[in-house]
Each structure stands twice: as C-alpha cells, then as structure tokens.
C-alpha cells in the first residue's frame, strides 16, 4: 500500500472535532527505559532523542497548544494500540512508577525548565517540549496486568493538577465493543474500577460493530450499543461517565455510519461519535 501524505495536526484547527487522541504510545518502557511513540506518518516530522527511540516532535509541540488555547480542542495521548505487547506491569509499584514518568513527560512542565525541554541534558525528555496534554486514553487490545494502579495514579495526578490550574483533564479508554471488554474490564468495572471520564467504544472489527445495526428493529441481536449505555449509567466508577461510538472509516460511508449510530444513539450516556483514522479522514470525537 502506498504511504499516505502526512497531514498536520493544525489541519483540524477549524474543524468540528472536539477531542483529538494522538495514537499511539506503543510501549510504556522500552529497552532504554523510555516510552515508544508511533504517530504513523506524523512521525516523519519528528526526530529521536540521542541514545533512545523516543520521538522528539517540535511541530506537534507548536500545534498542540494552538489547538488547545485558540481552538478549544482536547488533545489526548492514546496508550496501547494493536502493536502494544508489554502486557502491563509486573506489580502495582511498577505501574505507579511508570505513571509518574509518563506524567512528567506529558503533563505540566516543571517550572524550573524553560528552554531545555527536549534535549538529552534535560532531567526529563519531553517529546512535545513545554506543551502539555489534556489527558490520556487507554487502547489495550490484549490482556494486561496492573493497569488499574497505573490508571489510578494518572487519575490522581490529573485531579491534583486540575485543582491547582482549573484545567479540565480527561482519562478515557477505547474498548472493543464485545461486552465486557476482555482487555479493559479490570479497570472499567468491579472493585478495581478507575474513574474514567468517557469510553470510545470501537464499534468495528467485531460482530457487535455498526455494520450489524438493523434499522427499525426492536431488538439488536449483535450491535450492542445498549450494553455500553447500561455500563455508563450503572457500573462506571465515574458517576457522569459517558461513551462515544467510534466507527471505522473504511466500513461504510461516514454519513451512513453516523446516520445508523444516531438512530440507536439516544441513550442518556452517549456523548458523541468518532471516526478513526486521523491521517485519512480524521479521528473525530464530536459531542
């Protein structure tokens, strides 16, 4: 397949997109002790820090705060993806340590760091320099261990920062549509559930996807919007959690997808719809 021409994050400045997840962080700690980032063709505009495989992305460092402050976009970093293979963490301590490291790299920059944010001499390597993200998204597609303490630590760090600067921050997840999701259920439901603000349910690549929606049918035997609506209203640790129906651009025409989802999507917890793949059509999460 021919490689698509890279497009800038700034392409979405004036769009009706509300939330833009940057995908993906494919490893939380590689052999050099740093995360690995893969932004598809956006990576062509990045270099790597010396001695690491960690991307240094000055164009994104410029675009992110413009998207946030001038155009009111929420920018998340999606962790996981189909190529993630670490399997989580050995124990809760390792999970919370990793969360602290991720926060130092993508959360608010330390006040004592001014220009030296993206060099190997810096105490913390920050791929987006002084830019900070609005939160994190979990897209684990295979079984992972000790993600609940990882998520809980990020949740605590974001909550504390928001109390200081009054800046909203989101913790989200992108489970596949079979319910309960095999990879994410431990931190979405039950005693170890973490307060997730929203889930971007992947209604594609599975029997329960939007392609199984039957118009005008009283019962939906495969398309399981209702199951996720029930989770958001009755099981989510975050009382006001919602979900967004995410669909794959290649399945059917975008207009058809959204029309079908909208017919079913009248549950009180549904917050909008998303299209996936940003480098082709744009990852769009619209309220």
Q: Of the candidates 171, 130, 170, 131, which has an alpha carbon nearest to the alpha carbon of residue 150?
A: 171
DSSP 88: B
* Average pLDDT for 50-76: 93
* Average pLDDT for 208-228: 90
What is the rounded CA–CA span in Å between residue 282 and residue 4?
13
Q: Where are the domains of the chain?
A: 19-108+124-254
In which band, very low, low, confident or very high, does the pLDDT at 124 lie, cut at 50, 70 and 90?
A: confident
Residue burial 13-45, b: 16+ Cβ < 10 Å; e: rest: eeeebbbbbbbbbbbbbeeeebbbbbbeebeee
In which band, very low, low, confident or very high, does the pLDDT at 250 lie, cut at 50, 70 and 90?
A: very low
Could you report the per-residue pLDDT of 76-93, keeping only the tens digit for each?
A: 999 999 999 999 999 999
In which band, very low, low, confident or very high, does the pLDDT at 2 lie, cut at 50, 70 and 90?
A: very low
Q: Which CATH number fits domain 19-108+124-254: 3.20.20.70, 2.130.10.10, 3.40.50.1000, 3.20.20.80?
A: 3.20.20.80
What is the torsion angle, in degrees rounded to the nearest 10, for the CA atoms of residue 10, residue 73, residue 19 and residue 37? 50
Contact 196, 162 (CB under 8 A): no
Could you report the per-residue pLDDT of 181-208, keeping only the tens digit for each?
A: 999 999 999 999 999 998 999 988 899 9
Beta bridge partners of 176: 202
Q: Is 88 left (phi over 0), alpha (psi -120 to 50) or beta?
A: left
Could you report the per-residue pLDDT of 34-59, keeping only the tens digit for each?
A: 999 999 887 888 999 888 899 999 99
Q: What is the distance in angstroms between the CA of the first residue and the CA of the last residue of the chain? A: 33
Could you report the per-residue pLDDT of 16-32, keeping only the tens digit for each?
A: 888 999 999 999 999 98
Q: Of the candidates 6, 13, 19, which has an alpha carbon nearest to the alpha carbon of residue 63?
A: 13
Instruction: Single out the catalytic residue among 59, 86, 141, 268.
Output: 141
pLDDT at 285 over 50: no
What was the pLDDT predicted at 247? 60
What was the pLDDT predicted at 4? 38
What is the rounded CA–CA span in Å between residue 183 and residue 143?
5
pLDDT at 254 over 70: no
What was the pLDDT predicted at 238? 76
pLDDT at 274 over 80: no
Q: Is the peptide bond before 61 cis (omega within 30 degrees of 0)?
A: no
What contacts 93, CB < 8 A, 6 or more positions away?
Answer: none
Query: Is 256 annotated in the active site?
Result: no
């Amino acid at each position: 397949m021919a490689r698509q021409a890279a497009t800038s994050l700034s392409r979405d400045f004036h769009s009706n997109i509300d939330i833009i997840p940057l995908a993906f962080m494919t490893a939380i700690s590689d052999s050099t002790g740093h995360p690995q980032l893969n932004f598809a063709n956006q990576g062509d505009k990045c270099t790597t820090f010396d001695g690491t495989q960690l991307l240094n992305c000055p164009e994104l460092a410029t675009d992110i705060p413009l998207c946030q402050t001038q155009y009111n976009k929420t920018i998340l970093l999606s962790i996981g993806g189909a190529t993630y293979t670490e399997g989580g963490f050995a124990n809760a301590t390792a999970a919370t340590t990793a969360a602290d490291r991720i926060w130092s790299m993508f959360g608010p920059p330390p006040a004592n760091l001014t220009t030296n944010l993206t060099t190997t001499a810096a105490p913390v390597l920050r791929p987006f320099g002084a830019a900070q993200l609005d939160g994190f998204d979990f897209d684990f597609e295979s079984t992972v261990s000790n993600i609940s303490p990882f998520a809980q630590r990020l949740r605590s760090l974001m909550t504390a920062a928001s109390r200081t600067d009054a800046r909203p921050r989101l913790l989200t997840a992108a489970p596949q549509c079979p319910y309960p999701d095999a990879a994410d259920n431990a931190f979405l439901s039950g005693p170890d559930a973490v307060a997730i603000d929203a889930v971007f349910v992947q209604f594609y690549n599975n029997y329960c996807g939007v392609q199984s929606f039957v118009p005008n049918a009283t019962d939906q035997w495969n398309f399981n919007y209702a199951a996720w609506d029930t989770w958001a209203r009755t099981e989510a640790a975050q009382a006001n959690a919602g979900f967004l129906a995410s669909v794959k651009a290649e399945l059917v025409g975008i207009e058809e997808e959204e029309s079908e989802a909208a017919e079913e999507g009248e549950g009180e917890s549904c917050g909008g719809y998303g299209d996936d793949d940003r480098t082709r059509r744009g990852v769009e999460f619209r309220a």
